Amino acid sequence: MLILPTADGRLEPYALTGTPLAPRAPKVTLTRTAFAAAHVISDPLRERNPWDTRPAVDWDATLAFRIQLWDQGLDLAEAMDTAQRGMGVDWPTALDLIQRTMLAAQAHPRHPRVACGAGTDHVALPDLATEAAIRAAYETQAEAIEAAGGQLILMASRAFTAIGAGPDTYRAVYRHLIDGAAKPVILHWLGAMFDPTLAGYWGSRDVGTASDLVLSLIRENPAKVDGIKISLLDQAQEEAFRARLPAGVRLYTGDDFNYAPLIEGDGTHHSHALLGIFAAIAPAASQALEALALGDPATYHRLLAPTVPLAREIFCAPTRFYKAGIAYLSWLNGHQRHFIMPAGFQSSRDITHYASLFRLADAAGLLARPDLAQGRMAQLLALHGIEQG
């Protein structure tokens, strides 16, 4: 029994009720590609300046977290915003992460897919004032990722919106990057709720106009575009965009609110997944996708339905702070020894939020080791002045 805070400022007792889902490998080949975007685990014993952009990383724990995702049949989106790119993790750390992850993936018996974020964050924004500078910055990271064996995700860059880039600038840069990539790329459309500086991406604040531009880029060379990840938290918009894609180009949903119906599809089209929430709900996600592959939509929804309230709380506004919830659940489930994040990001959410996540994770069967989770939650509560009886 724990004493947990409530949203209205009360303290009330809470007893665990959930039945933990045991992580396991799928018994059949999944019919949806599912990239889980994973976080980075700090090493607090070596951290001397937690607000530095080059954190001390616990590499063993960070890679072990990825391996358990692969063991459950999920693929990996590496060095993305879930890994705090530009929010506590710099490009040299991200590249080290990518190189280590690719070696681990090559040694894993399943040989999972790993797609890696290529951006422009190693160059200061004032030095990215031209189309040529933005293109060159992307090329530097893309070449390093391809040399490590990773597939490219062309991450949305703050450089475009910082200079108020118009459609012609986006077209020129992306055309060059798509056509020059060694393998088909994944494009990346991250909404302003995830990063306010990206408002107006693709040269317009109108979603329809922006959609027309990116679809035209894809249609010009669809063989070099594996798919596009869209994170706009708008199911109807994603479904409309998805229906306009050329055959063979995937829509990777980044909608951490509406992933269940989008992945299931409408009978004609469906989305694949590139989701931060899948790192937090891996057992439910893996087993739900297995059920979908077996033609059992009832089990699919039974497993995913309890995860949706959890996801909505993790990604509540300000949405960009969702990384704290991912790391918190990793700590509760024993994937890391502490709840310390690069740049001290654990402080971006309050104790009431963490108490809500605790209840919702329990209800979804996602507290793998209930005794451990309860003990660690009691420690966090005590640090916030909420002593247990």
Tens of pLDDT along 185-237?
999 999 999 999 999 999 999 999 999 999 999 999 999 999 999 999 999 99
The length of the chain in residues reads 389
Q: Cis omega before residue 318 (within 30°)?
A: yes
Rounded Cα gap, residues 273 and 250, in angstroms? 9
What per-residue confidence (pLDDT) applies to 66?
A: 98
CA atoms 302, 188, 94, 75: torsion sign: positive
Burial readout 102-130 (b: 16 or more C-beta within 10 A, e: otherwise) = bebbeeeeeebbbbbbbbbbebeeeebee
Dihedral-angle region of residue 131 (phi above 0 means left; psi in -120 to 50 means alpha; beta otherwise): alpha
Dihedrals phi, psi of 340, to nearest 5 degrees? -120, 135
| Bridge partners, 339 (sequence order) | none
**CB distance 252 to 186 below 8 Å:** yes
Collapsing DSSP to helix, strand or coil, 343 comes out as helix
What per-residue confidence (pLDDT) applies to 341?
A: 94
Q: How confident is the model at residue 50 (pLDDT cuts 50, 70, 90)?
A: low
What per-residue confidence (pLDDT) applies to 54?
A: 81
**CB distance 198 to 191 below 8 Å:** yes
Dihedrals phi, psi of 218, to nearest 5 degrees? -65, -45
**CB distance 278 to 224 below 8 Å:** no
Does residue 273 surpass a pLDDT of 80?
yes
Collapsing DSSP to helix, strand or coil, 57 comes out as strand
**pTM over the 0.85 mark:** yes
| Bridge partners, 252 (sequence order) | 229, 272
Nearest one of 172, 51, 174 to 118, comparing CA atoms: 174
Does residue 48 surpass a pLDDT of 80?
no
Does residue 35 surpass a pLDDT of 70?
yes
Mind listing the pLDDT tens digit for each residue in 342-376?
A: 999 999 999 999 999 999 999 999 999 999 999 99
Both tokens of 340, joined, read 């310390």
Residue range 41-64: mean pLDDT, rounded: 85
Rounded Cα gap, residues 123 and 119, in angstroms? 10
Residue range 75-79: mean pLDDT, rounded: 98
To the question of domain 2-21+31-383 being in CATH 3.20.20.70, the answer is: yes
List the chain domain ranges: 2-21+31-383
Rounded Cα gap, residues 128 and 141, in angstroms? 14
